[in-house]
Amino acid sequence: MIRYRGVAYYPEFWPEDRWDEDIRLMREAHINLVRIGEFAWTPMEPAEGRFDLGWLHRIIEKMGAAGIEVMLCTPTATPPAWLTKACPDTLLVTREGKRAVHGGRRHYCPTSATYRRHVERITERLASEFSRYPNVTSWQIDNELGPESGECYCESCASGFRGWLERRYGNLERLNAAWQTRFWSVVYTDWAEIDIRHCEAGYPSIDLDVRRFHSDSWVDFAAHQAGILRRLHPGSTVTTNMMGPVFRWIDYHDLAKVVDVACDDLYFDMATMSGDALAADVFRCLKPGKRFWVTETGSASLVTGKPPHADQLRAWAFSSAARGSDAHVIFRWRTCLAGQEQDLQGIIETSGKPRRRYAAVKRLFEELEDLVPALGSLPLPKADVALVHTYDSHWAWQSTRIGGQVKELEHLYAVHELLFDRNVLVDPVPTDRDLSPYKLVVLPSVCIVRPETVAALQAFVRAGGVVLATPQLASRDVNNNYVPRCAPDGLTDLFGLRVEGKAFLDDASEPDRAIWFPKGNMVLETAHARFEDGTACEARAYVEDLELVGAKALARFTDNLYEGCPAATVNEAGKGAAFYAASYLDADGLGSLLDLALQRAGIAPGPRTPKWVEVVRRGDVTFAVNHSREPCTVEIPGREAVVGEWKKGKARLGAYGVCAVRG
Ligand code: GAL
């Protein structure tokens, strides 16, 4: 259960004679961790090589005296004005060739050698000066790495990309073959001809490599700082705050390898509750076997400033705790008087007074602290279902025009929501993870499947595992080109089917519809399908023309292009089975297919609960959290209640109620 109760604090913004009062209030609110320094480069180093760190020493000492640990952040998200003025090559350049200007954040180029030099100086200085404090226990690298101010296409990135390609492909022959550049005469005959911006029209294979390069650049940027911090402060926890549920610009499976703990900035009002649960699940699985931290979460809405109900704030904390979090850090201590996020509410009012948000956080943190002895050492929750998510596939989808219409990520969220609704815990994992701990592996539109994964899936099913895949499985090669065979490539035997044709459905041929004039009035169409038991569902936007070679049809299309053809199938293979959906089935359709797959895998869904009531088992404790305003009763077997109202196997959950039952 949650060990760190924290807050982001910006002492550089507040008068020093206020600090003691802030720390007193923090102690009273049971805060035991503060994040400090993330945007304070100029106060730390007002001119190149001239450091002013006295204030940082003083605040860290004060925190230490109060028993509060410090997560010290490197300030590299916000380069000082003197730096960007002296070295404009540190500023990112947009695809259109526009150089960023000072005053925002994350407007630097992660590959700039000049920027790295400055980053190294400040990071080394901070690590060597502050590692001596026993209460500085963790480091945050930068803040939310990624292209917040845009991805960079400067000269350094352009030549970096060419070098990256040379290392990947060795020679131009292999590069041209991988990218299949003959189309539109793109063929490269000299490395110097390759432009990271490549063509406006997009070229999926090139686009995928550009995305890979950008991602690698961010990971490398983080690794540089991580190396310095580990060298100068061994034993500390080195991390960076990331974003969920699925951040599309950096391969977090790579970034996670650079850090000691996976940290998510989880603002619960940014996604639906199942999206928030997905974020928690994703971060639990980034560092297998390790608890994750929620490094930022709001005590009020990010956009409007309206606070959630105090009990809802509590329900959110219990939800992520049940899913494996070990830190709950509120953004931020006090509402700022100025700046880009002036209206973003802190726990303390602009006046400096602790009012309602403070009271809510204090109550929550007091409870979390009280629960540490009883729930502090629970093992992580164990999932029977793996949900495959890979950046190759996410990026492949984004690089196609139609990908924007189908919204592959929304499909991933939809699959997760169906499992969330059934109280079946899911591990979102990349394909190189060991699949043997799972009974069911779900592959939502995983269009790129590497040969190793093909072999792993076959072995998994042969040994008794069950897989469920949705459209476009293994339809592309690792270079983002369609395979010149029937999909799913390498897996047609396993699924007992061949995808012989496909179509994105649109209504453009109707007399009042058009693709161009008037532009944008075409909509993606819905077909329909029916399962054997009569369940009818919508099949959205995209359909595949399946030829069954062993599989059995579980549902068929009842109209549109492939009327009468299979819409969902199952194939028994070895000791296991492979299920397939030939379209984006709605919740009824995909839910039915999922139920069949769960049943075949021998996974009993969790207790039936009303919508937005979740049940998660962690060790010998079952958590039930009601995220809705409607009170309800949920059946939970067990021995004794640790939290909430529970009697004779029944938990009574009020609005936003929480119950934790042992046994
Ligand atoms: C996070 C960021 C914070 C703050 C917060 C609220 O993404 O790390 O610095 O901006 O959002 O918008």
What are the backbone angles phi and psi of residue 596, rounded to the nearest 5°? Answer: -65, -40
CA of 266 to the centre of ligand 1 (A): 10
**Range 188-191, long-range pairs (CB < 8 A, 24+ positions):** 191/162, 191/165, 191/166
- Angstrom distance (rounded) from CA 229 to CA 224: 9
- How, if at all, do strands 466-469 and 576-581 pair? parallel
CA of 434 to the centre of ligand 1 (A): 34
Q: How confident is the model at residue 40 (pLDDT cuts 50, 70, 90)?
A: very high
> Which sign, positive or negative, has the C-alpha torsion 486, 491, 493, 496?
negative
CA of 71 to the centre of ligand 1 (A): 16
CA 38 to ligand 1: nearest atom: 9
The answer to whether the beta carbons of residues 300 and 307 sit under 8 Å apart is yes
More confident residue, 569 or 1: 569
DSSP calls for 228-273? HHHHHSTTSEEE-EEE-S--SSS-HHHHHHHSSS-EEE--TTSS-H
**Ligand 1 pocket: which of 144, 269, 299, 335 to mutate (most atoms within 8 A of CB):** 144
- Angstrom distance (rounded) from CA 367 to CA 379: 20
Coil, helix or strand for 354?
strand
Tokens of 196: 């990271």
Residue 342: how many other CB atoms lie within 10 Å? 10
The answer to whether the beta carbons of residues 48 and 85 sit under 8 Å apart is no
CA of 331 to the centre of ligand 1 (A): 8
- Angstrom distance (rounded) from CA 350 to CA 339: 13
The answer to whether the beta carbons of residues 508 and 514 sit under 8 Å apart is yes
CA 243 to ligand 1: nearest atom: 7
Which of 45, 69, 144, 151 is the catalytic position?
Answer: 144
Listed in order, strand segments (DSSP E) in 403-562 are 426-429, 440-443, 466-469, 497-504, 526-531, 536-548, 552-557
What does the pLDDT look like over 280-295, one tens digit per residue?
999 999 999 999 999 9
For ligand 1, atom 10: residue with the closest CA: 341
Active site residue 510: no
**Residue 315 Cα distances to 39, 97, 330, angstroms:** 30, 46, 15
For ligand 1, atom 9: residue with the closest CA: 143
Unique residue bearing structure tokens 């350094």: 156
For ligand 1, atom 12: residue with the closest CA: 302
Whether 201 shows a pLDDT value over 80: the answer reads: no
Residue 459: how many other CB atoms lie within 10 Å? 14
Residues 6+ apart with CB under 8 A from 565: 545, 546, 556, 557, 582
> Which sign, positive or negative, has the C-alpha torsion 196, 164, 225, 331?
positive
**Ligand 1 pocket: which of 7, 141, 243, 331 to mutate (most atoms within 8 A of CB):** 331
Unique residue bearing structure tokens 């880009």: 340
The pLDDT mean for the chain works out to 96
Whether 403 shows a pLDDT value over 70: the answer reads: no
H-assigned helices in 376-422: 391-398, 403-406, 408-421
- Angstrom distance (rounded) from CA 239 to CA 140: 5
> Which sign, positive or negative, has the C-alpha torsion 107, 110, 112, 116?
positive
The answer to whether the beta carbons of residues 161 and 194 sit under 8 Å apart is yes
Which of 38, 45, 151, 296 is the catalytic position?
Answer: 296
**Ligand 1 pocket: which of 36, 106, 143 to mutate (most atoms within 8 A of CB):** 143
**Residue 123 Cα distances to 222, 311, 507, 533, angstroms:** 12, 40, 56, 63
What does the pLDDT look like over 485-531, one tens digit per residue?
999 999 999 999 999 999 999 999 999 999 889 888 888 899 999 99
pLDDT number for residue 251 = 98
pLDDT number for residue 399 = 87
- Angstrom distance (rounded) from CA 320 to CA 292: 9
| DSSP 8-state symbol, 64 | H
pLDDT number for residue 407 = 83
CA of 178 to the centre of ligand 1 (A): 39
When pLDDT is averaged across residues 598-615 and rounded to a whole number, the result is: 97
Residues 6+ apart with CB under 8 A from 361: 29, 299, 313, 330, 347
CA of 224 to the centre of ligand 1 (A): 23
The answer to whether the beta carbons of residues 273 and 627 sit under 8 Å apart is yes
What are the backbone angles phi and psi of residue 144, rounded to the nearest 5°? Answer: 45, 65
* Percent of the chain residues past pLDDT 70, beyond the cut: 99
pLDDT number for residue 520 = 81
pLDDT number for residue 198 = 83
**Ligand 1 pocket: which of 265, 267, 303 to mutate (most atoms within 8 A of CB):** 265
When pLDDT is averaged across residues 204-232 and rounded to a whole number, the result is: 97
Active site residue 144: yes
Tokens of 162: 């060419």
Q: How confident is the model at residue 21 (pLDDT cuts 50, 70, 90)?
A: very high
Tokens of 381: 């929750």
CA of 56 to the centre of ligand 1 (A): 22
What does the pLDDT look like over 45-101, one tens digit per residue?
999 999 999 999 999 999 999 999 999 999 999 999 999 999 999 999 999 999 999
What does the pLDDT look like over 619-639, one tens digit per residue?
999 999 999 999 999 999 999
pLDDT number for residue 400 = 79
What does the pLDDT look like over 558-586, one tens digit per residue?
999 999 999 999 999 999 999 999 999 99
Residues 6+ apart with CB under 8 A from 338: none
Pocket (CB within 6 angstroms of ligand 1)? 143-144, 265, 296, 302, 331, 341, 344
What are the backbone angles phi and psi of residue 613, rounded to the nearest 5°? Answer: -115, 120
Whether 303 shows a pLDDT value over 90: the answer reads: no
* Percent of the chain residues past pLDDT 90, beyond the cut: 95
Q: How confident is the model at residue 215 (pLDDT cuts 50, 70, 90)?
A: very high
